[in-house]
Amino acid sequence: MKKLFAYMAAAVAITGILTASCGRTTGGAGNKTASDTTGTAFIKFSEMEHDFGKVKAGEKIGCFFNFENTGDADLVVESASASCGCTVPKYDKKPVPPGGKGALEVVFDTSGRDGLQTKTIVIQSNAENNLVILRIIAQVEER
């Protein structure tokens, strides 16, 4: 019976040690980990739409949509997708700090297009406004 109590006491002690050590980080309590989230990012574009005006069919045209992180946490653009394969968005995957600025480039290939063209670009990020829709417009004319 004494051996049983000794085993139980040892099991309780080991469980207590293991439980106490769970969740500890090395290097002190003040260190941040990758999963820490303090504050909120907010993406603010200087314009939501770009009108190319009249362009010739077959041209590749592009523009930049400039934005600022007006929040108080790092902003990360997670994806940018266009409504059509003729439109290609390009963006930097590096975090934008609070108060920092960035740009999204959009290239539109007018080949095979004619008339008024409207394309949308959907931006997803870790910002409070995590889904933003931008638009480009062009009047494509034959050569």
Query: Cα separation of 4 and 13, whole Å?
Result: 14
Per-residue pLDDT at 27: 38
Residue whose structure tokens are 């889904």: 131
- Per-block mean pLDDT, blocks of 10 residues, the chain (143 long): 46 40 36 55 98 97 98 97 96 96 98 97 97 98 87
Tell whether 18 is covered by a domain. Answer: no
Per-residue pLDDT at 143: 75
Amino acid letter, residue 70: T
Tell me, yes or no, if the pTM score tops 0.85: no
DSSP state of 123: E
| Domains of the chain: total | 1
Range of the domain at 52: 43-141
Tell whether 101 is covered by a domain. Answer: yes
Per-residue pLDDT at 18: 35
Among candidates 98, 23, 112, which has minimal Cα distance to 68? 98
- Strands 49-56, 131-141: pairing is parallel
Tell whether 2 is covered by a domain. Answer: no
Tell whether 52 is covered by a domain. Answer: yes
Residue 24 CA: distances (Å) to CA of 13, 17, 30, 71: 18, 12, 12, 30
At residue 3, the 3 state secondary structure works out as helix
CATH number at residue 134: 2.60.40.10
Tell whether 81 is covered by a domain. Answer: yes
